[in-house]
Homo-oligomer: A and B are copies of this chain.
Amino acid sequence: MRLSRSFLPTLKENPAEAQIVSHRLMLRAGLIRQTASGIYAWLPAGLKVLRNISQIVREEQDRVDAQEVLMPTLQSADLWRRSGRYDAYGPEMLRIQDRHKRELLYGPTNEEMVTDLFGQTVKSYKDLPQVLYHIQWKFRDEMRPRFGVMRGREFLMKDAYSFDVDYASAVATYRRMMLAYLRTFQRLGVRAVPMRADTGPIGGELSHEFLILAPTGESGVFYDAALEDQDWLDEPVDTNSPEALEAFFTRVTTPYAATDEMHDATAWEAVPEAQRREGRGVEVGHIFYFGTKYTESMGVSVSGADGAQFFPEMGSYGIGVSRLAGAIIEACHDDNGIIWPDSVAPFRAVILNLKSGDELCDAVCEQIYSKAPEDFLYDDRAERAGVKFADADLMGHPWQIVVGPRSAKEGRVELKRRATGERQELSVDEALALVLAG
């Protein structure tokens, strides 16, 4: 994409309304614009980020046999009356009346709808387990929306819902999803540490939040460094084996990890001092087992092997997709701007023409651009080199291919890696090969 013809507006100044770094950088790098309190439009670069995150989330959900559907944003109040939550839900629920005075709401979550959908379709234990998920916009009418997309009102979320024949099967599903989450966050280029969360009246140990470490996080976190080191992508966990899943779960949940809400000072003392990690964390995911709460209250049963009807056991599994765009920036930036992980970056590389209009520089840039895949950005604007360098750092492209008049004469370019600042002079082909390989 040629920057001169693109809708990628960067801002030089820090917007006054933005209190945290990700919000400032998302506005300055032209990723989002606010259209109403807590509601944002995603500009081309921001949408690419959102789509890259969604696609990784989707692939890892599919890998554990979750099936993607798409439920609507608006729901009938009657559905929520069946579970008893319509009156119980607070003012965060956006309640709506249509032209016939029927009550609707903008879905803040989908337990009721998915349980109903499941009940219409699945009639026998033979069709279990089922995991359904969707990636859809939701609305929570926050009292004081702030921090940009980190606490917006209209937000994009992946929410999955599982249906199992019994507790043992539900536990296996829960553990499978925990593995999917660890893989997802790792592919997104961040470390998210699972921490025990409150299970309320359900009880048990099957509720975990996933937190990304970031100085502006909303919770204090305490965890054992052992949790940072594991590579889950190639980990050969046999997800069909309950025993293998149990061993995996034990490994993940044995080292100490807790938010300040659940912190246990005595247990923390037992962690060797060199292993203690303490900081702030942003919640980006939550997995939760809640048994038959919705199947029972909504009267959704299926027939068992013995012919008798029973209520399937459920869990829900959320990832804040739009929130992650902000959370990744919280974790990946420096004073000059965003440092996108390769997997999430809106553009893999930018071609910086330091002297647009110079015949040789233009020719070398066009040559690179003609060979480049679609996710290359070409900064062909008639701007000073300093502006282009600053914008490239601000927007956080993983690679910068710098074409200046001196090196161009020798058919060479400078390749800069944004994350490390490392620079090397290379031929055009060498630079391209490096970028495409990485």
Chain A contact residues, CB within 8 Å of chain B:
5-7, 9, 33, 35-37, 39-44, 46-47, 50, 65, 67-76, 79, 91-92, 94, 96, 98-99, 102, 104, 106, 113, 116-117, 120-121, 130, 132, 137, 139, 141, 143, 153-154
**Considering residues A71, A130, A154, which has the most beta carbons from chain B within 10 angstroms of its beta carbon?**
A71
User: Once the chains bind, are A44 and B69 in contact (CB under 8 Å)?
Assistant: yes
A42→B73 CA distance, assembly (Å): 12
B67, B79, B120: the one within 8 Å of A33 (CB):
B120
Residues of B within 8 A of A6 (CB): 67
User: Once the chains bind, are A74 and B121 in contact (CB under 8 Å)?
Assistant: no
A117→B96 CA distance, assembly (Å): 27
Known contacts A74-B36, A76-B35, A121-B7: A69-B41 contact under CB 8 Å: yes
B39, B92, B117: the one within 8 Å of A35 (CB):
B117
- A374, closest chain B residue (CB): B62
Return A47 CB to nearest CB of chain B, in Å.
5
Known contacts A7-B130, A41-B117: A99-B69 contact under CB 8 Å: no
User: Once the chains bind, are B117 and A33 in contact (CB under 8 Å)?
Assistant: yes
A76→B41 CA distance, assembly (Å): 12
User: Once the chains bind, are A72 and B39 in contact (CB under 8 Å)?
Assistant: yes
Known contacts A94-B96, A137-B137: A76-B143 contact under CB 8 Å: no
- A131, closest chain B residue (CB): B7
User: Once the chains bind, are A67 and B44 in contact (CB under 8 Å)?
Assistant: yes
A7→B98 CA distance, assembly (Å): 31
Residues of B within 8 A of A121 (CB): 7, 9, 33
Residues of B within 8 A of A43 (CB): 69
User: Once the chains bind, are B7 and A132 in contact (CB under 8 Å)?
Assistant: yes
Residues of B within 8 A of A104 (CB): 36
Main secondary structure of the interface of A (DSSP, over half): mixed
Residues of B within 8 A of A102 (CB): 37
User: Once the chains bind, are A154 and B69 in contact (CB under 8 Å)?
Assistant: no
Return A218 CB to nearest CB of chain B, in Å.
21
Known contacts A98-B141, A137-B137: A72-B41 contact under CB 8 Å: yes
30 A-B contacts (beta carbon < 8 Å): A7-B121, A7-B130, A7-B132, A9-B121, A33-B117, A33-B121, A35-B71, A35-B72, A35-B79, A35-B116, A35-B117, A36-B72, A36-B76, A40-B72, A41-B70, A41-B113, A42-B70, A42-B71, A44-B67, A44-B69, A47-B68, A73-B73, A74-B139, A74-B153, A91-B99, A94-B98, A96-B106, A98-B141, A98-B153, A99-B141
A39→B75 CA distance, assembly (Å): 8
User: Once the chains bind, are B70 and A50 in contact (CB under 8 Å)?
Assistant: yes
A141→B102 CA distance, assembly (Å): 11
A72→B137 CA distance, assembly (Å): 9
Known contacts A41-B113, A69-B43: A74-B154 contact under CB 8 Å: yes
Residues of B within 8 A of A92 (CB): 99
B9, B47, B68, B116: the one within 8 Å of A44 (CB):
B68
User: Once the chains bind, are A69 and B42 in contact (CB under 8 Å)?
Assistant: yes
Residues of B within 8 A of A39 (CB): 72, 74, 76
Residues of B within 8 A of A117 (CB): 33, 35, 41
Return A87 CB to nearest CB of chain B, in Å.
16
Return A108 CB to nearest CB of chain B, in Å.
13
- A37, closest chain B residue (CB): B102
Return A189 CB to nearest CB of chain B, in Å.
22
**Considering residues A6, A41, A113, which has the most beta carbons from chain B within 10 angstroms of its beta carbon?**
A41
Return A52 CB to nearest CB of chain B, in Å.
13
Return A107 CB to nearest CB of chain B, in Å.
10
Residues of B within 8 A of A35 (CB): 71-72, 75-76, 79, 113, 116-117
A76→B91 CA distance, assembly (Å): 19
Return A377 CB to nearest CB of chain B, in Å.
13
Residues of B within 8 A of A41 (CB): 69-72, 113, 117
